[in-house]
Structure 1
Amino acid sequence: MMSDFKVFRTNHTGITVSDIEVTMSFFRDVLGFETTEIMHHKGEMVENLTGVPGAEVKLGFVKMPGHRLELLEYITQDDRKISDLRNCDPGAFHLALEVDDIEAAVEAVKPAGFAPYSEPQAVPNGNCNVYLRHPDGITIEFQITANP
């Protein structure tokens, strides 16, 4: 059954973080993403949109070719929790990035708190992949693609 609407493209993926300035600096300075200005939103519109009573949020975008990430820091909720989802849990996600040197990429993100689950793994299709987790609960995957 066809829907009565059409999806044109992905616009962005939103990630909630504990410190937007630190996270935007990481994506810009370590990973080479372009960044936007940090915006500040509060009020009824934000509450209605997010479903978070009293929501006040700082947000900014980081982008590389093909995708944008929206980084959000909620600044009025004192009861925020770090997500402890395992990669197998529903709702868990990861950001996969193709790199040219997987070992160098892993070493570059360690000072920002990312820890690899394992050494880079050879995948049957010839790729090499590694998952890394940040204390905020963000998981990234670095991949060297055998046949780009």
Structure 2
Amino acid sequence: MTGPSPQTHHVGITVSDLESTLSFYRDVLGFDVVDRFSVAGKALSEGIGVENASGTFVHLESGGVRLELVRFEPEANESRESALNRPGTTHVALAVDDLESFYATLPDDVETISEPRTTESGTTILFVRDPEDNLVELLES
């Protein structure tokens, strides 16, 4: 490849309930809110390929990662199955120092796939779901 390489700017998650999802990432996972804004108009609609689109965005940061939560109008009616072994499934991965302690502090209403497990590679992992059913991996290596 010639020329400068792209640099990571953010990881984005489209949500239906922005406030509930924001609370999860801010209050449960400890992200800091760094920006909140709305965008509408022809350029957005053309850029995302959705007629008459508008979006409300929240940018959060933790450990040098910027996470973008966005709620779009109009909202698509399509649903997707989110299983880790399904091609196209995505997840956000976050590192913690002590996964067992972190797990012990999770609110009871946070859905987990299992308790923390140490894989053959020596990495301890825990998958949880945010309020929109998106997968979040927490890991300690």
Normalising to structure 1: TM-score of the pair? 0.81
Please name the residue that 1:117 is paired with.
113
Is 1:45 the counterpart of 2:43? The answer is yes
What amino acid is the match of 1:53? E
Using the alignment, how far apart are the partners of 1:89 and 1:116 within structure 2? 18
> What secondary structure is seen at the aligned counterpart in 1 of 2:21?
helix
Aligned-residue offset at 1:62: 0.6
Using the alignment, how far apart are the partners of 2:77 and 2:3 within structure 1? 35
Aligned-residue offset at 1:83: 3.0
Is 1:84 the counterpart of 2:81? The answer is yes
Using the alignment, how far apart are the partners of 1:136 and 1:108 within structure 2? 20
> What secondary structure is seen at the aligned counterpart in 2 of 1:59?
strand
Using the alignment, how far apart are the partners of 2:92 and 2:116 within structure 1? 16
Structure 2's unaligned 5+ residue stretches are none
Q: Is the 8 A contact 1:84 1:137 kept in 2?
A: no
Please name the residue that 1:63 is paired with.
61
Q: Is the 8 A contact 1:34 1:64 kept in 2?
A: yes
Using the alignment, how far apart are the partners of 1:132 and 1:26 within structure 2? 11
Aligned length: 141
- Name which structure has the greater RCO, CA cutoff 8 Å, separation 6+: 2
> What secondary structure is seen at the aligned counterpart in 1 of 2:13?
strand
> What secondary structure is seen at the aligned counterpart in 2 of 1:22?
helix
Identity value in percent: 30
Superposed CA RMSD in Å reads 2.1
Using the alignment, how far apart are the partners of 2:82 and 2:29 within structure 1? 24
Q: Is the 8 A contact 1:13 1:68 kept in 2?
A: yes
What amino acid is the match of 2:22? M
Aligned-residue offset at 1:50: 1.0
Q: Which has the higher strand share?
A: 2
Please name the residue that 2:94 is paired with.
97
Alignment partner of 1:74 out of 68, 72, 75: 72
Structure 1's unaligned 5+ residue stretches are none
Normalising to structure 2: TM-score of the pair? 0.85
